Chains A and B, each alone.
Chain A
Amino acid sequence: MGRFAIGRIVHGVVVVFCVAIVVFATSRLVGDPVGVILPFEATHEQRAALRHQLGFDRPILEQFGEYITNLARGDFGTSLLQDRPTISIVLEHLPATFELVFAGIALAILIAVPLGVVAAVRPGSLVDRMSVSLSLLGLSVPEFFLGILLILFFAVELGVLPASGKGGIEHLILPALTLALPAVGRLTMIARSSMIDQLGQAYVQTAKAKGIPRWRVVGIHALRNALIPVLTLSGWELMRALAGYAVTVETVFAWPGVGYLAFQAVREQDVFLVQTIVLVVAVLVVFVNVGIDILYRVVDPRIKLG
């Protein structure tokens, strides 16, 4: 078990290191960062001066070496935009993203599981067909577009929810829903098929034969087993939201999380801030995955490192 855990952790560190290389390379090789920090009017001399001041004129390997040594010391660099340590800016925005992403995925599970179970219990029924259509819709509409539609309906037409920003719980509803709906699509499908699978198992037949009420058989016995793949997929949805969807959803709703910060940092070409955002998100994703792998092993010792 110890060896398994260490193996996964080493693997995680390697992935993060690779991410660091890729982020560093893309931020240096795609155009000149100084070009966009300074106004167009800046002269070649001023550009050269700033390039020197930021160290961009040194050999790329030397820059990379310094970047890695600084990282090892916990120094993620200073934001060009805000002149503050990038890591503190990212950590400031992280709670808002967690709040949004957890709320979104929790909402998705709360909608998807009952829907999937009902659909599985009555395959071919109206509810089943509706759940399939809804899932497809959730999967097909880009969250960016969905977000704006939700704003138009709930904030503009009905006027019941705020259009953007962060505040009380009412501010959370629309962005969380936007994040949840695509996940609802996938989770419903998984919940449905996994439930159908369980309902065909021998233990369900036995339970039924023993005269246990149908709601108990479905809602307790089968559901517990059917939930395992749903939870696995939820973890994946969580990571996917954190590492991707948050950018669009937070930007559309002006939600002050890491995704919104990433959008601004990219737009303003704050290279060091972009580097730190990607790295922090990568670390989160990698280590949550490592954690899940280790947990699986605890649950089921047959799982091998591979």
Chain B
Amino acid sequence: MRRHTMAAISAVVVATVASAALSAASAADATSTSTHATAESITIAIGGEPSTLDPLVRDDGNQRAVTQNVFDTLLGRTPNGSRLYPKLASHHPRRVSRSAWRFKLRPGIRFSNGTPFNADSVVATVRHLLEPKVVTEQASWLGTIKGAKKVNDLTVDILTKGADPIFPSRMSYMRIMPADWKSLPDFANRPVGTGPYVFSEWARGDHITLTANPDYWGKPKPSIRTVTFKFVPEGSTQLAGLVAGNFDLITNLIPENAKRAPKVLSVPSTEHPKFVLNARPGSQVTADVRVRQAMNYAIDKKAIASKLFLGYATVDAGQVLSPSVFGFDKATKAYPHNVARAKQLIEEAGATGKTVNVVGTSGRWLKDRELIEVVTQSWRAIGLEVDVKIYDFREFVSRLVDPKRRPDAIFISSSTDLYDADQQLTMYYAPSGIASSNADQRLKQWIDKARSELNENKRANLYHLAIRRARQQAYFTWLVNFSTLWGMDENLRWQPRSDGYIFVNTMRFVG
């Protein structure tokens, strides 16, 4: 999940003042970039300093940006997210029992310190993962893993708690550490992996430098020799640095600033903002399905995508999942924008003038505050009263996870990082989910059953059932699916990924 703090506000404020300066600068830009655009080095601005470079201990996007280039995973994922392929594993894993997957490993690979990659590396990695502290933080990614067993030097079994159909997907996330990592000095700050880049320097508070691994086993081989990750929290500072030629790639670009960057690429993410409506039995106005449906009909999603996100978003097809995610239901469509129908439903439900309590936070997700304002305005327009409370993120989360203080509508945004419906549906759709606001036992049955269903078609069907029922019952107001924007040097050639991963070995400079 991307965090847009002061960046969004500041960039908008400054945008008007800046436009003159920036247009004048575009001429200067051509000269400044040419000094940077060599295959020698690249400077990438990321939103903050990694907490650690241990690839498993914390769920931290800044850490991932760096460690993805130092470590490899058993399986890889194609840039659009649709398919897994063997990476450190030589083949796709084979299920040897209901809860065990067997991996054949690629021979002849070494970590950058010379330690061979083999079954012991995988076993040591899983052991590290199972340390109590690690397992809690990584629960949503790797929480189903129970252990690992070496079969022979190049064969290893990974065991799960019960059947886990999305296990292969998890293996595109688990970065493999050397078997002797515990004896390496200061591993969390000087990591050693099999990846295309080797750790070189960490200047606290300022940057991390990696250098190309000359013996990288995989493809593509890195063409850029040195990578510097700069920690720049402010979005407008990132943009200014890009335009001035200090950075070659920036990660915190908002739609308003897209045309100011020398070059912009955008990729649909799996991020879906939404309102969770409180559908549990009770006296709240949203307990009535007609009100919830009306709240969906009221919103002009197309206008949100084109006006608020300037076209860098598409309408959510009524299911918080992107089309590239397993379980996406093609038959489910968004609620159309129909104010007359919405007003009629509100009237039928006798809800005119009743108050909907809305809880949200500000500065956490791209345009969170603006979305809350636009949507609540649409609700007012159909005859509801709306009481909005914006909380600090910590208080917001406390309310989110506390079923007793559940508001009528809570705004939240999340992404499907494992490309499987399980993550989102378990958390938001199933009544037992931490952020779920319904009491629909049928949803729970389908989602629980899918969790252990190993037949792909049957599993997809169970998700489709759940998605259709939730859409009909309007347990959410679905909004849009937005794109991730990357600002970059004109001479940089790179295909960004829908998961937002930054693999520097897939980048090159031209000219």
Contacts and interface: CB of A to CB of B under 8 A. Distances in A.
Interface of A: 30-33, 35-44, 46-47, 49-50, 53, 81-83, 92-93, 96, 144-145, 148-149, 151-153, 155-157, 159, 162-166, 251-254, 256-257, 260-261, 263-264, 267-269
B394 A269 contact: yes
Contacts of B58: 81
A251 B49 CA distance: 12
Interface in B422-448: 423, 426-427, 434-435
A251 B234 contact: yes
27 contacts: A32-B394, A35-B394, A36-B393, A38-B136, A39-B140, A40-B140, A40-B397, A40-B427, A41-B423, A81-B52, A83-B51, A93-B204, A151-B236, A152-B22, A155-B246, A156-B21, A156-B244, A157-B28, A165-B207, A165-B232, A254-B206, A254-B233, A260-B233, A263-B233, A264-B233, A267-B5, A269-B393
Given A46-B139, A81-B60, A267-B3, 19 more contacts: A30-B395, A31-B392, A32-B398, A36-B393, A36-B394, A41-B140, A42-B136, A53-B132, A83-B57, A92-B204, A149-B14, A149-B17, A151-B236, A156-B243, A165-B246, A251-B233, A256-B203, A256-B231, A264-B48
B204 A152 contact: no
Given A82-B51, A148-B14, A159-B244, A31 B188 contact: no
Nearest to B232: A254
A31 B398 contact: yes
Contacts of B423: 41
A1 B343 CA distance: 79
Contacts of A42: 136, 139-140, 434
Contacts of B453: none
B22 A156 contact: yes
Nearest to A41: B140
Nearest to A89: B204
A49 B394 CA distance: 18
Contacts of B244: 155-156, 159, 162-163
User: Interface residues of B toward A: which range?
Assistant: 35 or more
Interface string B233-245: 1101100110111
B412 to A, nearest CB: 8
Given A256-B204, A263-B233, A155 B241 contact: yes
Nearest to A167: B206
B6 interface: yes
A152 B52 contact: no
Nearest to B22: A156
A88 B10 CA distance: 32
A269 B393 CA distance: 9
A164 B234 CA distance: 10
Contacts of A41: 139-140, 423, 426-427, 434
A39 B393 contact: no
B18 interface: yes
A55 to B, nearest CB: 14
B114 interface: no
Nearest to B48: A264
B400 A256 contact: no
B137 interface: yes
B240 A152 contact: yes
- Give 6 nearest A-B pairs by CB, closest first: A256-B205, A31-B394, A41-B140, A35-B397, A81-B51, A163-B241
Contacts of B374: none
A60 to B, nearest CB: 16
Given A39-B59, A163-B241, A261 B205 contact: yes
Nearest to A42: B139
A78 B334 CA distance: 47
B155 interface: no
A88 B3 CA distance: 27
B394 A254 contact: no
B464 interface: no
